[in-house]
A and B are shown apart, each in its own frame.
Chain A
């Protein structure tokens, strides 16, 4: 029996065609929906930026660039200078980075070179994953009840004011929190170093240590750097754990054991009690600075990673 186009599109006496309405959307509308979904994400980012700028306008207009260099943060007198928080942020983040690198680099080498497969590798990888999954507030809680007494004891020993809380403590907690981020990219780039490069070095009689030092690390250096950048980005924006152990002082920190505040922690502390447009706008301006700085660092880090994969 000859079938024509009509037979398939039109029912025979016995069969029924019910084109279910859900997917009767024409192809063009579907494409439009998808396109809009993608576009809306772009709009979201732009909207976030603009909202932050608009909301912080009062502070931007009042203080201008002096906002970042002002030493005094006095809500009562309406003086808002963020230098103390910038310093606090930089101090805690960079110290955290240094402390973390002491452990994250070995982890990257452990997982990327020495123990790529097997039980040891799975175990350490799971632990690192778990560390990344612990909520920030729990880190803060642990920092408050475990690290603070330890730091206090240390401060007594070295003759500093035994507060326990402070920038040093916050950098300790941060160091643990950013370990997974600093180590994961490092692990990947180290494991992706081409084996023929390594074999060339081995065949010349180098020890593993020397191959790592002279072949692997140099090759993977930009990737490791990217991982550090991304970890830094994470540390800069971290709020809860920091706010719980940093001591919440709005004065310029004098030493690493001083209490202080980061841009993120002062927002967390004071936002709900902020009265008046200028106060709120100043806090939002801090958020704007955080947004821009973390965005630049993240883009830089991802750019380096893209360049590395392009190189291969």
Chain B
């Protein structure tokens, strides 16, 4: 079934959303006010935004990497080798 590898990428995208939402609630949401923050609640809010952005970026990088691996393997199987 030729759609199986793409369904695999879909499942990876789905699993990453679940894992990242767990990471968001467990590690990012509880981040409290940072010690010695002169602006009170600003530095930790900025840190939360950066960490959440990082999770989004991680999702993109993983999905792009999986897709690149799939495209390369398919193109390699289509290109006739020099010896053939």
A and B interact physically: no
